[in-house]
């Protein structure tokens, strides 16, 4: 039973804490029933053409040790720094936050700013590029579809592709691995050990965690400056009581119904979305791609400007999605974040919930950076009795060690245990009835 009232909104005076979400703007929100602007509507006056931040000083070819000039350079996972294999000198790449302004004050962000590595992929771009080795003068071919590094066949020096090219192979920033392979193997072993009781025997027989691979997966990192407006109805319970008797007894409640409006600025820092369409394809009937999302977040604020030496010795996956493909997902997530913050901090009075009839978010400014993020990945392809296959993953965050995965289940054993539990329950129930 609901009693409708229209007194002033008792919670309408509340303001969101400025540390999380700025105070509400004074102008009224859109009333229920009025047309709703599409999610992600861009504020008037925003430039039609994005501002592109490029690294003009990025040089392809030989990347040399600053101390001895050698090109045998790779990531030292223990320190997170680049290390020369000859003189053992270590150094850090240029900070991505300084070069791309990914940590710039979001409150002043306007229009669209994108990194050069985030530009649209050009399908006609050739994957095979030819470099002239500056050490000996030989011409060396690099297939960027498979790698961003190659070795000169004459002098053995390494050549690197560091400048952004329009095929998605070179991102703006990279977050180096800080978790060693041995540590990842231990976490995967511990994860599977907890699930051995119900794991498929064929999986346990073939389980080889030492085959885990270090992979840099492609993401887009997005900063957003937006204004959100919500309007709808909220209910506050005033009384609960019981009516009827016997089998017809039921509990009902009275509630006051209020018109609820919220309007606020929202700043979102380092929203991370997958830029590989294959990884976004979370078809749970054929793969466990959703596992990758469960090991987030990544400490993107510690990323550095892309240098192909960071990915030497690791696998990497090239992005295949443009900003236009990802924008609807980002806009939806931005609206969800705004709605969550509003609900978490200003709607506790409405214990019967709030139904939003109008949800609008105007994005005033946005900043996109293409990124490589580190994941230790163990995969297992299960072939089922019906001939179908399912791809299982156990993933480890290459920074935090957060682990999640999918393990093939021994269905026969699971059904047998379930039947035994059900039978035991029936026996116990019968005993209780006899005693009663």
Residue 202 lies in a domain: no
Neighbours of 404 (CB within 10 A): 18
- Asked if residue 199 is part of any domain, the answer here is no
Residue 104 scores a pLDDT above 70:
yes
Kindly state whether residue 137 falls inside one of the protein's structural domains: yes
Q: Kindly state the tokens that stand for 216.
A: 């840099």
pLDDT of residue 423: 59
As a whole number, mean pLDDT of residues 18-47 equals 38
Does any domain span residue 194? Answer: no
As for how many domains the chain has, the answer is: 1
In a domain, 68, yes or no: no
Can you point out the beta strands (E) in 21-165?
Answer: 41-42, 51-53, 61-62, 73-76, 81-84, 90-91, 111-115, 128-132, 139-143, 149-151, 158-160
The verdict on residue 173 lying in a domain is: yes
Residue 393 lies in a domain: no
**What span, in angstroms and rounded, lies between the C-alpha atoms of 410 and 431?**
32
Instruction: Please give the structure tokens belonging to residue 335.
Output: 């609206």
- pTM, full prediction: 0.76
Mean predicted confidence (pLDDT) in 233-254: 91
- Which of 365-390 are b and which e, b meaning 16 or more Cβ less than 10 Å from the residue's Cβ? bbbbbbbbbbbbbbbbebeeeeeeeb
Residue 76 in domain: no
Beta-ladder partners of 265? 227
DSSP sequence for 171-214: -SEE----S-HHHHHHHHHHHHHTTGGGB-HHHHHH--GGG-EE
pLDDT at residue number 412: 58
Report the alpha-carbon distance of residue 86 to residue 74 in Å, rounded: 11
- Better-scored residue on pLDDT, 18 or 162: 162
Range of the domain at 352: 3-62+93-189+211-376
């Amino acid at each position: 039973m609901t009693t409708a009232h229209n007194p002033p909104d008792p919670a309408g005076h509340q303001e969101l804490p400025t540390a999380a979400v700025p105070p509400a703007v004074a102008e009224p929100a859109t009333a229920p029933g009025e047309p709703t602007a599409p999610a992600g509507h861009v504020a008037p006056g925003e430039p039609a053409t994005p501002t592109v931040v490029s690294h003009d000083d990025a040089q392809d070819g030989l990347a040399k040790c600053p101390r001895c000039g050698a090109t045998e350079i790779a990531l030292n996972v223990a320190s997170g720094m680049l290390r020369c294999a000859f003189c053992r000198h270590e150094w850090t790449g240029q900070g991505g936050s300084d070069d791309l302004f990914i940590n710039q004050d979001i409150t002043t962000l306007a229009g669209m700013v994108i990194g050069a590595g985030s530009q649209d992929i050009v399908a006609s771009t050739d994957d095979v590029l030819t470099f002239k080795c500056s050490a000996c003068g030989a011409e060396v071919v690099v297939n960027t579809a498979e790698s961003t590094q190659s070795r000169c066949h004459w002098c053995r020096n390494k050549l690197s592709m560091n400048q952004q090219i329009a095929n998605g192979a070179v991102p703006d920033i990279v977050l180096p691995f800080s978790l060693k392979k041995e540590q990842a193997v231990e976490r995967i072993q511990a994860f599977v050990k907890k699930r051995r009781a119900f794991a498929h025997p064929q999986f346990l027989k073939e389980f080889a965690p030492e085959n885990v691979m270090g992979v840099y997966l492609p993401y887009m990192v997005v900063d957003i400056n937006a204004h959100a407006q919500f309007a709808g109805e909220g209910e506050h319970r005033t009384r609960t009581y019981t009516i009827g008797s016997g089998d017809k007894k039921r509990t009902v409640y009275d509630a006051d119904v209020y018109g609820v409006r919220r309007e606020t600025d929202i700043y979102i820092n380092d929203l991370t979305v997958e830029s590989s369409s294959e990884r976004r394809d979370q078809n749970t009937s054929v793969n466990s791609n959703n596992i990758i999302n469960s090991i987030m977040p990544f400490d993107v604020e510690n990323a550095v400007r892309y240098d192909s030496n960071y990915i030497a010795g690791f696998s990497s996956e090239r992005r295949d999605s443009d900003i236009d493909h990802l924008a609807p997902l980002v806009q939806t997530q931005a609206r969800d974040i705004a709605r969550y913050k509003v609900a978490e901090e200003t709607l506790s009075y409405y214990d019967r919930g709030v139904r939003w009839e109008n949800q609008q978010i105007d994005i005033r400014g946005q900043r996109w950076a293409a990124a490589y993020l580190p994941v230790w990945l163990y995969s297992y392809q299960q072939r089922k009795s019906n001939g179908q296959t399912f791809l299982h993953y156990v993933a480890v965050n290459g920074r935090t060690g957060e682990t999640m995965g999918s393990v093939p289940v021994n269905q026969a054993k699971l059904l047998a245990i379930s039947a035994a539990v059900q039978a035991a329950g029936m026996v116990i129930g019968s005993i209780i009835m006899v005693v009663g």
